[in-house]
Structure 1
Amino acid sequence: MPFMIGRAPVRRTLKYLESGKIVLKDQIKIFSINYNVGQGFKNKVHEGAQAFVFWTLPQLQYKNPDVQIVTFKNMTPSPFIRCYYEDGKQILIDIDSRSNDEIVNHLIKVIGKSKQVLKAEALAAEEKDNPANFGVGCARKCMCEIPGQIPCPGVCPLPKVMRGKYFYFKKDELENPEL
């Protein structure tokens, strides 16, 4: 499988992408992260940001498909995250000398959806009325209400070829009921 080649190919698996913890609020439209890459004393403060970009950013992109995510490398002396809201406001988050886990936990608190909101959205997604559903509690009580379906046998009798009684038995058995 060619997608399993390269550094840490587990990052490209669906199970890994779905395990992301950060789901951004709906008002956030652009998420930008500024950090430096490379080695040396000055880049010790950027190690957490580099780990965040390497390990967590793919999960963030997968969980938030409507958010534009931008990374700026080697343009700033200290790492930070800037989020742009749909009304034009911005929020600046300092991630200087923080580890990947600290950054993730802070982002969940500041710009992430709470667990109650995520549960409510999951429940609403389950309750979403699917036009294929029918029965008690749905928009349609019976399959026959869907256009193109056969009417209910109670309203209009089915043709004999569609009844199991006639379909599965031989004709001579049905003609002689004494047998």
Structure 2
Amino acid sequence: MPFMKGKAPIRRTLKYLEAGKIVFRDRVKIFTVNYNVRGDHHQGAREFVFWFLPQIQYKNPSVQINTFKNMTPSPFLRCYLDNGEDVLIDIDSKSKEEVHDHLRRVMCKSDAQLAAEQTAEEKKDNPANFGFGCEKHCMCEIPGQVPCPTIVPLPKHMRGKYMYNKE
């Protein structure tokens, strides 16, 4: 399989991408990472980009993500918000886990907010949904379906005792 070649192919699996925990708030429109490819104090930023940037891109499809290499003496993250403000996060000499945890604490949605959004997404009122907790309790209430046999008897050609027991 060609997608499993290269350095750390686990990053290309759907299971790995869905496991990301960084989901930005709705205000974040652009996310940039500035780091150098050499230097000990840039090591955490390089590893953060290598391991967590694909997950961030997968979880935040409406956020523009840019990386700037070899343009700064110290590594930092910058988040541009929808009202024109920007948030600057210094990641100098931090490990990838420290950067991940700090970014999640400062710019991401909380776990409670993510859970509320997930339940709201599942509860979408679909006219095809029926049963307990939905608008319609039985499929016969949906237009175009066969009515309940308790209210309107089924035609004889739709009943098994007339179809299979022919004499």
- Which band: TM-score by shorter chain? over 0.9
Partner Cα separation in structure 2 for residue 164 and residue 26 of structure 1: 56
2:16 aligned with 1:16, yes or no?
yes
- TM alignment of 1:48-87, pairs within 5 A: 48-87=44-83
Q: Which amino acid aligns with 1:6?
A: G
2:48 aligned counterpart, secondary structure? helix
Indicate which of 141, 165, 170 corresponds to 2:165: 170
Structure index of larger Rg: 1
Sequence identity percentage? 65
- Range that drifts further, 54-63 or 119-128: 119-128
Please state how far the C-alpha of 1:141 moved relative to its aligned partner.
2.4
Please state how far the C-alpha of 1:121 moved relative to its aligned partner.
1.7
TM-score if structure 1 supplies the norm length? 0.87
Partner Cα separation in structure 2 for residue 19 and residue 98 of structure 1: 22
1:171 aligned counterpart, secondary structure? coil
Please state how far the C-alpha of 1:156 moved relative to its aligned partner.
2.7
Please state how far the C-alpha of 1:114 moved relative to its aligned partner.
1.2
- Range that drifts further, 25-34 or 144-153: 144-153
- TM alignment of 1:21-170, pairs within 5 A: 21-38=21-38, 43-167=39-163, 169-170=164-165
Please state how far the C-alpha of 1:129 moved relative to its aligned partner.
2.5
User: Number of paired residues?
Assistant: 167
Partner Cα separation in structure 1 for residue 31 and residue 139 of structure 2: 46
Let me know the Cα RMSD of the aligned residues: 1.4
Partner Cα separation in structure 1 for residue 118 and residue 136 of structure 2: 23
TM-score if structure 2 supplies the norm length? 0.93
Runs ≥4 in structure 1, deviation > 4 angstroms?
none
Gapped regions of structure 2 (runs ≥ 5): none
Please state how far the C-alpha of 1:144 moved relative to its aligned partner.
2.3
